[in-house]
Every structure is written in C-alpha cells, then in structure tokens.
Structure 1
C-alpha cells in the first residue's frame, strides 16, 4: 500500500481517533498509551474475513458497524464499560483505491462508537492478495467483579435481552437470494427490511450489562453462536443443567408473524440461529425485580426463558427443552455461520 497506507492511517486518525477518556496518546505513535485510572481492564478480540464472515457486496457502513458491535457485545457480557478499540485492516489490492469505501466505513464505525463513547486508539493497515479482513480488539473497564460463564447456580433464572432469531431468518433470505443453501419462506418487504436491519446492525447491550453487574449478576454471556450453543457453554463451564421453554424465547413482531406455531422454525431461528448479540444471564430469583427495573429504564425487553437446575445424577450437563409445557427433543446438531 506504500504511501497510501500513511494517508489511510491519517484518514482514520482524523475521523475516528480523536482523544477520548483515558487516552494519553492515540493513533500516530508506535503504540497507544491508555490510562485505566485504577479500574480493572477487560479485553476481547474478533476477526472477520471476507467471503467467510461477510458477503463481498456488504456495504462498508454495515461492515464497520457490525465488526465493532460484535466486540462491544463481548464487553457487555462481562459488565464492562467500553472505552477503546484497536483496528487492523487487511485491504485487498485494487486499482480504484478505497477513498469512497473508507468514507462509508468510517461513517458506520462512528455511528456506533460515538453512541457508547468508544475511541479508536490504534491499529494497523496492510495490503493483501487475500480477502478483506478486519481484526478488532476492544478494551473496557469494570468497577466490580466481571460477569462470567462459570458462575451459574441451581435455582438461577435464565434471562434473555431483546429478541432472538431475526438475524438467522434474514441470513436464510440472503442465502436464497444468492443461490446458496438457505430456507425460503414467504416474507413481505417490510418484514425482510426489519430482519435485515437486525442482521447488519445489532445493538450491543452495554448499558444493561453494566447495570446487571452492578445489581449483583455474576453469570452472563453474549448470544452470538445461537442461544442453545451459547447457553451450553455456560452449562458446561458451571457444571449445571437447564430447563428452557422454547415458546418463551423472545421474538420480534416480524419474526413471530413468520414463525407462527411451528416449533421447527423456532428451533431454526431463535434457538440455534445465532448472530443476535443479545445477552443471556443466569441470576438468582431475588434479583428479578432489580433486573426488570433496569430493563424498563432502558426500554429494553427482558424475558425469563427457563431455570438452572442441578446436573443429572450421572453428572451429565444437558438442556431440557419444552414446547407448550411438553418435552421436546433437542436438535440433533446445530451450527452457525456469521454472514453480513
């Protein structure tokens, strides 16, 4: 990228690297100098690769938003206040350059970063013969103990923020449009637009994560690979069992209209679909009122979907799934593919 790399770095610095809280020295030196002011530091990192995690024709605005959002969602699951990010961009060589592309990318990044006071403090840019690749490191601060996966206990209620399944349904439609493997279903233009907005521009639940940790919640995880897969990570780490009501999983109005009373669609989209970036929390019933007050203050939907139970007598960690109070077999397998 030669001299163009320095121009690109300056473009990022001037638009996204303005001084933020705790940034002693940001973009422009060999490393960022950050001041956590005596608080605990939480860090996460995620990488998105073109043609694997996002479609080549994704709008740069949406790519930037989601790439940042998936990292901020990890911080939310830990109860952290998001502060800083590092961005690595590997840009394929092309004659047209990246002027207009970068303008749209930075607009999408700014739209989300400014909402949460997140500063781009550094990173790297390179040219590549391979696919477009983004790696983001997000850093946050906590004042209390972080929420973790291994702290669910029998008697805890299982909660979910927002709604599940929209992104998975939107991905089905996007795959069918591209002639790839996906499930086709009747869908109005308005419904498809609502689902697509959730797929491309998820909302990290940072305010709720911080408030939940302050209320005393010790166990949480962000829902990125599908509710069932991510809940299973909690159960395995904590050595417990869960009972979940499939029909209690929160759906948007649009997805409810599409899923109807078909448990197979509920399993495909909200249960195993992924890319929701909501929070799964396990908390004692005594914290229920406090959590509901926090959610109401944030105008955020919060739904109890089940409970944590002691493991089976043989020690096996498992999920009991019900539909309309009747036992339901778990899907034999489930998988998840990020796609923009």
Structure 2
C-alpha cells in the first residue's frame, strides 16, 4: 500500500472527513483541532481484528457500521453526545489496492455516522502482513457529568433497552454453517437474516442514554460482553448484589420462537452471548415513569428485569437468578464468547 497510501487517505477524507462547526481542522494535518465549546469531553476506544471479532469475509459496509457502533455504544452508556471519531486501519497489503473496498466501507460508515452527526476527524493507515485490524477512538460531549458503573444503589430498578441474545443466536447459526458448531439450530431463512442483521448492525442507544442521564440516572453500562458479565461490572464497581428474573429478559420474537426448541439456549443466548450493544441501567424507582416515557418517545423497548440489593457476604454470589419467582441454577458456563 506504500505507493497509494496518500491517495487512500485522500479518498477517505473526501468520503468521510466532512467539516462541522465544532471541527476547526480535520483530516489532512498532523492532528485534529476541535472546539468543544466549554463542554466535558468523553472518550472511548475499541479495536476489532479479523478472525477474532469479525469473519474475514464480512462485507465492508457491515464492518464499518459495526466498528463505529461498538464505540458509539460506549458513549451511549455514559450518556454522552457522540461528536467525533479517529480511525486507524491496518490493511493487509494487496497489489490491486483498496479503492472499491473503501467506497463500500465509507457507505456503511456514513449510514450510521450521519444518523448521529458524527464526524471523522483523523486517524492512521498502514499496510500489514497480519489480519485486517480497525481501531476507533470515539469522542463525545456532556454538559452534566456521565453515568458510571459505580453508581448503583440498593433499591434501584435494573432496566434493559431493546432485546438480548439475537447476536449470540446469529453467531451460533453462522458457526453451524461453517461446520464449527455441531449442534444444529433449526431456523428459517427470514429469521436467520433478521438475527444476522442484529449481529452485524447493532443500534447504539445514544438518544436514550442522553435522555436517561438528563433525567437523573447515574448508573449504566452497555451490554457488549453478555448481560451477566456486564451487570457484573456494575455490581463489582458499586459493591452491591442483584436479583434478576430470567423470564423477564426481553427477547425479540425471532429469538423467542427459535429458543423454544432449546431451553438451555433460551437461557444462554440472552445471558452470556454478548454483542447486543443495548444498555443496562440502574435507576431509583422514582425515575421509572420518566424512563418509560423517554423510551416510548423513541419507540424503544425498555424492560425492568430485576433490582439492586445490598451486598452479600459471599462475593461469588453477586447475582440471584429466578425463573417465575423460583431460584434458578444454571446448567452451563457463564463465560462470554465474542460474536464474530
């Protein structure tokens, strides 16, 4: 890519480096010059590697969308307004170049970035002998603090946006097709496509995160590593316990129909599957009505799934799970497997 790197960067600048009122200087210099106008800056970064976080044959459009979405979801969990991104691309060298690939990548990126008025302001490109790797730094703004993992308190209601488990189910279906998963999952083509769309193009809940913060919610995390793992981050940071009703976890109609044939997967997919990029929030009961109204205004499903309790002496039992008000023992590992 040595001879064409500057042309590649120029193509990237032309396609994605639009100027905005808070960007004094964007792509093309040694660094970006941004003007946050006195607001607080919130920053996050994620790296995706081919073969580890996504299948190498994924379309550039879907790859761009998801790479951006996973970063915007972190900002949503803080209640921040997404504003700018930096993009680093390590591209396996190939003689024919990356012109068409970049055009498709830019289309997928713009489809999500334009929706949230996010501007690409810089980054880096490099040719590599290794796998395709993307690193994105997302920068957002907040005018009144952020939501934090350490802010859950006994008595808080545990809320979940959207639905859980679709990405995990889609990954299982993809692994079966590749011969890497021995247990078949009977599934129609339309249902498989719907689940796959959720895996490849998650929706960062930026608007709801900002509304929750503005409404007084102090604690949230995005659900990227699986519901139990991410709720566990809150419980550890806050020093509290939780009770969660498994039968209350929100499932999409496609997943609910699919999981009826396999009760174990019904439990495992939404609990430990990961890559949902929904929000888990802990909020005082007095905020329940306002949160539900905010969700309705965004046509967003919002479900109360449990409550925060005082810490127990046994730190290993941070979560009590119930099924129809009966305590539940899980017949499987809680370990998270990243969706590709």
Category of TM-score, reference length = shorter chain: over 0.9
Map of 1:96 onto structure 2: 96
1:288 matches 2:288: yes
1:124 matches 2:124: yes
1:335 matches 2:335: yes
Map of 2:163 onto structure 1: 163
Map of 2:266 onto structure 1: 266
Distance 1:248 1:303 in 2: 8
User: Aligned with 1:3: secondary structure?
Assistant: coil
How many residue pairs get aligned? The number is: 340
Contact 1:235–1:317 under 8 Å retained in 2: no
Q: How does 1:128-167 map to 2 (within 5 A)?
A: 128-167=128-167
Map of 2:54 onto structure 1: 54
Map of 1:13 onto structure 2: 13
Q: How does 1:32-47 map to 2 (within 5 A)?
A: 32-47=32-47
| TM-score of the two chains, using structure 2 as the length reference | 0.97
- Once the two structures are TM-superposed, the CA of residue 334 in structure 1 deviates from its matched residue by 2.5
Contact 1:62–1:201 under 8 Å retained in 2: yes
User: Aligned with 1:140: secondary structure?
Assistant: strand
Contact 2:4–2:97 under 8 Å retained in 1: no
Gaps of 5+ in 2: none
Map of 1:27 onto structure 2: 27
| TM-score of the two chains, using structure 1 as the length reference | 0.97
User: Aligned with 2:67: secondary structure?
Assistant: helix
Moved more, 254-263 or 115-124: 254-263
- Once the two structures are TM-superposed, the CA of residue 316 in structure 1 deviates from its matched residue by 5.6
Q: What's the C-alpha RMSD, in Å, of the aligned pairs?
A: 1.3
Contact 1:225–1:275 under 8 Å retained in 2: yes
Map of 2:240 onto structure 1: 240
Map of 2:225 onto structure 1: 225
- Once the two structures are TM-superposed, the CA of residue 100 in structure 1 deviates from its matched residue by 1.2
Contact 1:55–1:339 under 8 Å retained in 2: no
Q: Which runs of 4+ in 1 moved over 6 A?
A: none
Contact 1:39–1:141 under 8 Å retained in 2: yes
- Once the two structures are TM-superposed, the CA of residue 261 in structure 1 deviates from its matched residue by 7.8
